[in-house]
Amino acid sequence: MKIFVTGGTGFIGSHFLSKALIAGHEVIALRREGSSPRVALGTHPRWLVKEMSEVTEEDLRGIEVLVHLAAHSANVPYDKLSECLRWNVWEPCALFEKAIKAGVRRFIIAGSCFEYGKSGERYEFIPPDAPLEPTQSYPISKAAASIALTGLARGKKLEMLILRIFQVFGEGEQESRFWPSLQKAARSGEDFPMTAGGQVRDFVPVETVAEIFVAALARTDLRAGEPKIENVGTGKPQTLRAFAEFWWKQWSAKGKLKFGAVPHRPNEVMRYVPEIPG
């Protein structure tokens, strides 16, 4: 299958490229000048070195599936709303319109669990049709993109799947995030200060996320004009404390986990767990 990928040098994108290439797909991946994958690839796609805004209709001819993994300012501190809207809504919409003109009919898109925002607090397990009530710039832009792109799919009779990813972790993750920070402390023999760890999340390995996206390329249940939205997780809620203790033991850490040494973030949601079918 011939696919076009945005965000291929990112955390999830790098793992997706690796698995898609191993599966035998022909991959054209967009990247910016000077960027490189977060994890080593055994083989490389055909790289298209351009900004998203520079992609042409001709670049997209013959593509069977467009996989949109690119995201602007996905980690805190988030960029201002206008920039998030530009790169997470306006530019992808323009790209999709070019793809449609080039004959692309199937689109697989990385969404974010944070699109649910405040509504997530009202559910033990958040369903994909929960109201979108984001409060910060990046989640607002991703929620806006979901609305815009599913509307485009209905109007243009496209096959579209948005996969909202929950607490993904693994190799290639940004160093400032929890799992890499925990790993760094464990391997250096340092203590690790953290919150009391009562937050409940669905921690999903990045390899699992990549496998789900690769499987989505050939799904037979996607219908033209009927976009689908699904959550991506393991279906297994876990406290942050239990998650930290598991990995601390896995790495045979010599230091101590210092629970309660760090305060919770202001207005932090204590339970954020998806509803996963089956």
Residues 116-173: tens digit of each pLDDT: 999 998 999 999 999 999 999 999 999 999 999 999 999 999 999 999 999 999 999 9
Residue 34's CATH number? 3.40.50.720
Is 131 found in the same domain as 251? Answer: no
Q: What is the pLDDT of residue 147?
A: 98
- Tell whether 221 is covered by a domain: yes
C-alpha 76/C-alpha 54 separation (Å) is 27
Does 219 lie in the same domain as 131?
yes
Please give the Cα distance from 21 to 43 (Å, whole number): 7
Asked if residue 153 and residue 112 are part of one domain, the reply reads yes
Sorting pLDDT into bands at 50, 70 and 90, what band is 268?
A: confident
Same domain, 223 and 267: no
Q: Give the total number of structural domains in the chain.
A: 2
**In this structure, are 254 and 160 located in the same domain?**
no
Does the pLDDT of residue 266 top 90, yes or no?
Answer: no
Q: What is the dihedral of CA 169, 172, 174, 179, to 10 degrees?
A: 40
Same domain, 62 and 74: yes
- The reply to whether 145 falls in a domain is yes
Q: Which of 195, 207, 222, 172 is nearest to 10 (CA)?
A: 172
Query: How far is 220 from 216, CA to CA, in rounded Å?
Result: 9
List Cβ<8 Å contacts ≥24 apart for 267-271: 268/199, 269/120, 269/121, 269/199, 270/198, 270/199, 270/200, 271/120, 271/121, 271/124, 271/199, 271/200, 271/237
What is the 3 state secondary structure string of 63-84? Answer: CCEEEECCCCCCCCCCCCHHHH
Do 138 and 193 belong together in one domain? no
The answer as to whether 278 is a domain residue is: no
**Domain-located, residue 209:** yes
What b/e readout covers 62-89, taking b as 16+ CB neighbours within 10 angstroms? ebbbbbbbbbbbbeeebbeeeebbbbbb
Residues 50-61 have a mean pLDDT of: 97
Same structural domain, 150 and 266: no
pLDDT of 277 strictly over 80: yes
Token readout for 38 is 């977060």
Q: At residue 194, does pLDDT exceed 90?
A: yes
pLDDT at 265: 85
Residue at 161 is within a domain: yes
**Is there a single domain that holds both residue 196 and residue 268?**
yes
- The vertex-255 CA angle with 254 and 257, nearest 5°, equals 130
Contacts of 160 (CB under 8 A, 6+ apart): 106, 107, 108, 109, 149, 150, 153, 222, 227, 228
60 shares its domain with 119: yes
Are 116 and 195 part of one and the same domain? Answer: no
Q: 193: domain range?
A: 178-201+237-272
